[in-house]
Amino acid sequence: DARVTQTPRHKVTEMGQEVTMRCQPILGHNTVFWYRQTMMQGLELLAYFRNRAPLDDSGMPKDRFSAEMPDATLATLKIQPSEPRDSAVYFCASGLVPDGRSYNEQFFGPGTRLTVL
């Protein structure tokens, strides 16, 4: 049963601490997305990778957020230092996009619920 996995599922931390969220995309998928969901803003795209290369991180606060794909089976999203306004649910999604195209169906992981006190 292929699915996107994310860890941790829940994280409570104090302001100023580093937070790392991990995502394992579906095996064989060549695109990875990070989204953030809040009540006020809904679902927002934070970052996008294709074939492990970061192609768009314009949705992230650059001074504190960073996203990487150390290998094809792992994507990470780090916040350092964390702030209370970062409290949200962070979703990872992956998809298999054919050559010559930019889009295809995206499959979402269960999310990481982050609370920054």
Residues that bind other proteins (CB under 8 A): 31, 33, 42-43, 45, 48, 50, 55-56, 89, 91, 97, 102-108, 110-111, 113
**Closer CB to other proteins, residue 74 or residue 96?**
96
What is the rounded distance in angstroms from the CA atom of residue 2 to the CA atom of residue 51?
19
Nearest approach, Cβ of 81 to other proteins (angstroms)?
A: 25
* Neighbouring-strand partners of residue 95: 31
What is the rounded distance in angstroms from the CA atom of residue 43 to the CA atom of residue 31?
18
**Closer CB to other proteins, residue 81 or residue 110?**
110
Nearest approach, Cβ of 6 to other proteins (angstroms)?
A: 11
Sign for the CA dihedral angle at 36, 42, 48, 50 comes to: positive
Q: Using an 8 Å Cβ cutoff, are 19 and 33 in contact?
A: no
- For residue 19, give the amino acid letter: V
Nearest approach, Cβ of 87 to other proteins (angstroms)?
A: 14
Give the count of alpha carbons within 13 A of 108, CB side only: 12
Nearest approach, Cβ of 102 to other proteins (angstroms)?
A: 5
**Closer CB to other proteins, residue 52 or residue 113?**
113
**Closer CB to other proteins, residue 59 or residue 81?**
59
